[in-house]
Amino acid sequence: MKSIEVLASVTDFLSRPARLFIGGAWQEAASGRSFAVENPATENPLAEVAQGAAADVDAAVAAARAAFEGPWRQVSPARRGQLLLALADLLEQHVEELAQLITLENGKPIANARGEAASAVNILRYFAGWPTKIEGSTLPVSPASGVPMLNYTLREPVGVCALIVPWNFPLTMCVWKLGPVLATGCTAVLKPAEQTPLVAVRLVQLIEAAGFPPGVVNLITGLGAETGAPLAQHADVDKIAFTGSTQVGRLIAQAATGNMKKVSLELGGKSPNIILPDADIVRAAKGAADGIFYNQGQVCTAGSRLYVHASVLDQVLEELQRHAAAHVLGPGLDPSSSMGPLVSARQLETVSGYLQRGLEQGAELICGGARPEHLQRGHFIEPSVFYDRAERACVAREEIFGPVLTVMSWSDIDELVLRANDSPYGLAAGLWTRDLRSAHRVAAQLKAGSVWINCWNVVDPASPFGGYKQSGWGREMGKNVIDAYTETKSVFVDLG
Ligand code: NAI
Ligand code: MG
């Protein structure tokens, strides 16, 4: 095992306490408190971060309001696009630094962290194209009075946006939300997850360097209940965008009713992945393994329920075991590791609990199920596969958010579709087949915001992403997200 060398700029960044960014100034929390961020591969503390609370949230919202009503309003759409491009260029120049921070605080393999940082650059470039293309329309109205009327619509930024993001993709989750905020002319208070605030701090430093006016993006680090909750309740926040657990999503939706702020939610999933008998089985099994093991299974769209046609079940189980066994568990900074630790002791406890209950409830463990013996420290867990004939165990029905796949078999396609849809979630679904007719028929029947045919986890800034049912409200990316961050104003002019 040989780890890559940590950049001097990263070591230097980690040695300074990370602070809040409010109205263009870096500052301590009003309480003076801070908390430690842990490296999940070593369990050692990485850095100290300011621990915000309600007073800091108030100051950040006030700064976001002042920028929204003031200087940011005067910035032209073309200039907003240029600023986004400048930010994308800065991220591109710092991809390695950002990737190392992601791996250090989240645990994922460095190659995946580099991919995440590169994807953040692409997303910003996509959103840089939008400011000059957000347009209203002129509408053919027919007033009963017969007086001729001109009617047109204006699209206006919704205002101050609270962005609460999780730890599984600590950089791209920030950028998914900041892209449309900055493109539409909104302002933001960003609240990263307490497990992974460091790359968000670095991102906001780059936002400052790109030249965005003070107050356009404000950063509050801290715990969910102390910072996220007051943001969700705040009377001067116009919109809240959240990614995380369905449980907290429900709290946020409730808190938002106080001032009827607009809400978008990207929540949990238990996404069904379906292998038809005519599929390229080798490719499908590889896709299914990647669909669950990528990012240690800590992905909202993880393909955690695998439905395999009975005629190919044995072959698929064999392939899955092979892919699980091929994973090299180790610290993300070691380029030979293909799977890192889970993000925290708590996440490891959750996943271990599921492994134990799955067995108790009659699911058959095909492989994995334990902590790797050769790693003494770090929140590591083996990639694991269950087979659950009855499909009743918790591992077949609940979101685990770990590298745990539950396989079921099927023989009748109509019955299978009902089973695949029998979940409180509806984030993603997939199918593997060579038959065009079944591919499009089944895709149309699945209740999920994303359907992947012969692929998994393909996400693109041009294409909408979001969930049916308890997987969320609204869509991110594409034209849909521009609508979510703008208000439509209808203007009538009497021409009589
Ligand atoms: P979480 O939903 O508690 O945390 C996500 C974000 O919400 C963090 O920034 C957190 O500080 C904030 N938050 C927590 N409580 C809050 C509150 N009362 N008001 C406002 N903001 C609050 O997720 P957690 O506890 O880290 O993970 C628990 C489970 O959630 C995971 O096992 C997984 O099932 C799911 N999850 C789903 C994610 C997704 O991408 N959809 C991402 C992370 C977790
Ligand atoms: Mg939580």
Q: Per residue in 246-268, pLDDT tens?
A: 999 999 999 999 999 999 999 99
Q: Between the CA of residue 45 and those of 13, 107, 164, 195, what are the distances in Å?
A: 14, 13, 23, 11
350 lines ligand 1 (CB under 6 A): yes
Cα Rg, the chain, nearest whole Å: 24
Average pLDDT, integer, range 43-54 = 98
For ligand 1, atom 21, name the residue with the nearest CA.
228
Starting from the CA of residue 344, give the closest ligand. 1
Structure tokens at 264: 């978008």
For ligand 1, atom 15, name the residue with the nearest CA.
224
For ligand 1, atom 14, name the residue with the nearest CA.
224
81 lines ligand 1 (CB under 6 A): no
What per-residue confidence (pLDDT) applies to 152?
Answer: 98
168 lines ligand 1 (CB under 6 A): yes
The pLDDT-based confidence of 175 (bands split at 50, 70, 90) is very high
Summary mean pLDDT of the chain: 98
Alpha-carbon dihedral 352, 356, 357, 360, rounded to 10 degrees = 180
Average pLDDT, integer, range 88-103 = 98
Structure tokens at 487: 């208000």
Judge contact between 295 and 457, C-beta under 8 A: no
Extents of the domains making up the chain: 8-267+471-491, 272-461
Q: Per residue in 116-127, pLDDT tens?
A: 999 999 999 999
CA of 405 to the centre of ligand 1 (A): 21
Average pLDDT, integer, range 390-416 = 98
What per-residue confidence (pLDDT) applies to 193?
Answer: 98
User: Which superfamily does 272-461 belong to?
Assistant: Aldehyde Dehydrogenase; Chain A, domain 2 (3.40.309.10)
Burial class (CB in 10 A: 0-12, 13-18, 19+), 5: exposed
How far apart are the C-alpha atoms of 431 and 365, rounded to whole Å?
A: 24
Residue positions annotated with a catalytic role: 266
Mutational test site, ligand 1, from 177, 201, 248, max ligand atoms within 8 Å of CB = 248
Look-up: residue for tokens 């400011």?
131
Asked whether this chain's domains 8-267+471-491 and 272-461 adopt the same fold, the reply is no
Identify the CA nearest to 351 among candidates 389, 398, 306, 319: 398
pLDDT(1) > 80: no
How far apart are the C-alpha atoms of 316 and 312, rounded to whole Å?
A: 6
> What is the value of pTM for the model shown?
0.98
What per-residue confidence (pLDDT) applies to 2?
Answer: 87
CA of 313 to the centre of ligand 1 (A): 35
Task: Please report, rounded to a whole number, the percentage of residues in the chain having pLDDT higher than 70.
Answer: 100
The pLDDT-based confidence of 286 (bands split at 50, 70, 90) is very high
Starting from the CA of residue 227, give the closest ligand. 1
What contacts 286, CB < 8 A, 6 or more positions away? Answer: 319, 323
pLDDT(495) > 70: yes
Mutational test site, ligand 1, from 245, 295, 399, 465, max ligand atoms within 8 Å of CB = 245
315 lines ligand 1 (CB under 6 A): no
Task: Please report, rounded to a whole number, the percentage of residues in the chain having pLDDT higher than 90.
Answer: 99
CA of 418 to the centre of ligand 1 (A): 29
Closest ligand 1 atom, CA of 427? 41
pLDDT(346) > 80: yes
User: Which superfamily does 8-267+471-491 belong to?
Assistant: Aldehyde Dehydrogenase; Chain A, domain 1 (3.40.605.10)
CA of 193 to the centre of ligand 1 (A): 8
